[in-house]
A and B are shown apart, each in its own frame.
Chain A
Amino acid sequence: MLSSITVGLVLFLVLLLATTALFTYSRYQQKEARRPQDTPKKRNFAEEFANDLTPLIPKQRFDHQLPPLPHRYEQDFITLLSRSPYSLYGYWEVSAHLEEQVKNDWDSQTWTESPFVLRFYDITATDNLEEAPYEEYYISGHDDHWYFNKLQPAHKYCFAIGRLLPNRFVPLLISNEAITPADSPSSIIDPEWPPLAGLEVLYEVTNRDKGVSPVTGWGITSPAGPWSIHKKEQPCKREVVGDS
């Protein structure tokens, strides 16, 4: 004999199942209602499931798996840039094609055994490289840039990359000309605008960290320099009060 309790239990279970089914269906419908109208019928469930489970994982950053820049462009270029009155910077690339071309004019073995050389010309007095004084640096075929230091301000320079054959330098590439900036006041005076004597007070300021220029020539502020508030003040200790 089935007791009324058992019947009640069965009915309760049936009701529970029905409620669960109804709730699930209703959630499904709500979800469907939120879905944009133009969603394609055929969906990739695996992808959607993965997204739903990982809402906190953001997109990849812009630099995720960023490919490196090319090591070489396989083109010829050579450039000289000004850095300071005493320093220039040069970079270059000699393509295999160019070297192959020039090499054909010479004995192959002599060419290959000749050192790779950088010639740095001071062309301030003359543009003719045959006459211009130069310095020579032995470099490797892997070098692609050079800092030229301890130079003269307001001088004009250029450089060439090539091979130093026995008794002869064969340039492959010659750079642009670059002029180092001046590091002192000009000696040229415009008679219509003669410098004012009262402004030609010498002073030296070299510390760039202080936010000032490395001026070692003329120029003037007030002759005593800034009248600093720090010099006037006596340090004093004060008590901190919360409601001050």
Chain B
Amino acid sequence: MEIHKGMVAFVLHAHLPFVRHPDREDYLEERWLFEAITECYLPLLKVFEGWHRDGIPARFTMTMSPTLMTMLADPLLQERYSKHLDNLTLLGELEIDRTEEDRAYAHLAHLYRHRFYEAQQVFEHRYGCDLIGAFRGLMQKGVIEIIPCPATHGYLPLMRLQQEAQVAQIAVAVDTYEHYFHQKPKGIWLSECAYHEGLENRLAQFGIQYFLTDAHGILYATPRPRYGLYAPIQTPAGVAAFGRDLESSRQVWSREEGYPGDGDYREYYRDIGFDLDFEYVRPFIHPEGLRLHTGFKYHRITERDSDHKEPYVPTWAEAKTSLHAGDFLFNRSKQIEYLNQVIPDREPIIICPYDAELFGHWWYEGPLFLDQVGRQAQQVSPGIEFVTPSDYLKKYPRIQPSTPCESSWGADGYHEVWLEDSNHWLYRHLHKAAERMIGLSKERPHTEGLQRRALNQMARELLLAQSSDWAFIMKTNTTVQYAINRSVYHLNNCSLLYDMVTGEKPLREELVSELEEVNPVFPRMDYRLYSGQV
């Protein structure tokens, strides 16, 4: 029997906005990081390390945003994460007592208690709180390739009239990446896969070899691409663009028919933080009594359209990941079989990009599914090779010249999520702040001392204000006030620093120091990036 051959490239995009509040410990938003570490990053590390240990030749690409890198490396957040785990382990003890008589839940309480304790051990002792070092080690071993995304996940097409602002987002990303991973990035994840014609020129400046777009970014490219989605195209600047495969995306991600919606998987929305007696959970929720997710979730999805939820049975869920991994591989192999028939001159590549937080956070069993995909592929589908986009470019350096179509992977495929009624007001202020930053950078290329510190901090505040997360949150209507306030706060800081640098207000060291201390993202920031001369 003929063995069909093709490549599959998983790309897991790990990003969180910079949420760090040294003044108080009750910002709910810091939990985004803590939950992602416990539920997603640690389990993924375990999967990748298992592959290395067992000689599984699967290669994955992970993108890691510079804001996430900065937070993972931050001692304050590391310390707070440990405390967060202390708290969860304690809750685990209480839960073991509470559920002692309940056969359906008692073993789950034990499981969670063990899981949080194990997370703490691994985080503190195995990795010495240095998760970036852990990921870097896996990259050095060849299991994964890590690439960055723009500095604060800035939405680049909405900065297109200020190329210097785009350059700064990319330059800081490359610099932060080099600082933590000791090499230059081969590719980049464009925030929200958002591309517009000409953006590749900014990427080429930094020696970046590839980026990814949504499917129509490639399918609507000019000239029409010979291989559709199953080979990259070469932009005029020489940077390659890969397009997202729709079928594999639907299988994993679709709310209706995707694997994560299976009735045996854990239900994300049922959590003891909301279900149990208020006084009991009070020490583990928000100090002001706001109920929130604790991570103790005892139910499976059961039926998606019903409020009735059956108890979660881990062995069933685990068995299902194995079944779904087999299904995923079967479909990729069918896809490759067909593509081999119609593509005469090269192997197809199927690009499967997902948010990393889907695996573990939203879809609790996601890391297990990936593990199964990597392991089963070696047993049943020898024709499928897991590669990174840069592996493909090494194998097939000659690719078709074509310009991708302007696009994003947001709803409806373009920019309307990030520019609509809820968030449009932001852009005039973001553009004004960037214009001021660019102006000052060009006018004052040789400042020193306090002036220089103020300009560097102004650049940090601008980058933080540009995070696409704020506009996205405003649109999706969750924690909206926080997103609005973060935007306004950073834009106000930009204005204050601008006024101080230009002499509108006295330049006060204590104010600059305070902002440096509160918002210390990208400590190596150099405001001269905005002069357009990198």
Contacts and interface: CB of A to CB of B under 8 A. Distances in A.
Interface in B320-370: 323-324, 327, 330-331, 334-335, 337-339, 341-344
A205 B214 CA distance: 13
Interface in A162-209: 176, 179, 181-190, 192-199, 205, 208-209
A210 to B, nearest CB: 4
Interface size classification for chain B? 35 or more
Interface string B205-228: 000000000111001111111111
B415 A83 contact: yes
B212 to A, nearest CB: 13
Interface string A38-64: 000000000000000000001101110
By secondary structure, the A interface counts as: loop
B238 interface: no
Nearest to A206: B412
B257 interface: yes
Residue from A68, A79, A192, A240 whose CB has the most chain B CB atoms within 10 Å:
A240
Contacts of A183: 220
A186 B403 CA distance: 10
B489 A58 contact: no
A229 to B, nearest CB: 4
B220 A69 contact: no
A210 B257 contact: yes
A182 B220 contact: yes
A186 B323 contact: no
A215 interface: yes
B226 A194 contact: yes
Contacts, number: 235
B97 interface: no
Size class of the contact patch on chain A: 35 or more
B247 A69 contact: no
B416 interface: yes
A45 to B, nearest CB: 25
A12 interface: no
Interface stretch (B171-179, B310-318, B467-475, B505-513): B310-318
Contact of A188 (B161, B224, B230, B262): B224
A106 interface: no
A197 B342 CA distance: 8
Given A83-B415, A244-B316, A66 B492 contact: yes
Given A69-B429, A182-B405, A230-B257, A240 B310 contact: yes
A83 B492 CA distance: 27
Interface of B: 21, 23-27, 102-107, 157-158, 161, 196, 214-216, 219-230, 244-247, 249-259, 262, 310-311, 313, 315-316, 323-324, 327, 330-331, 334-335, 337-339, 341-344, 400-402, 405-407, 409, 411-416, 419-420, 424-425, 427-429, 431-432, 482, 485-486, 488-489, 491-492, 495, 518
Given A186-B221, A189-B223, A195-B226, 5 more contacts: A182-B222, A209-B255, A210-B257, A211-B255, A240-B313
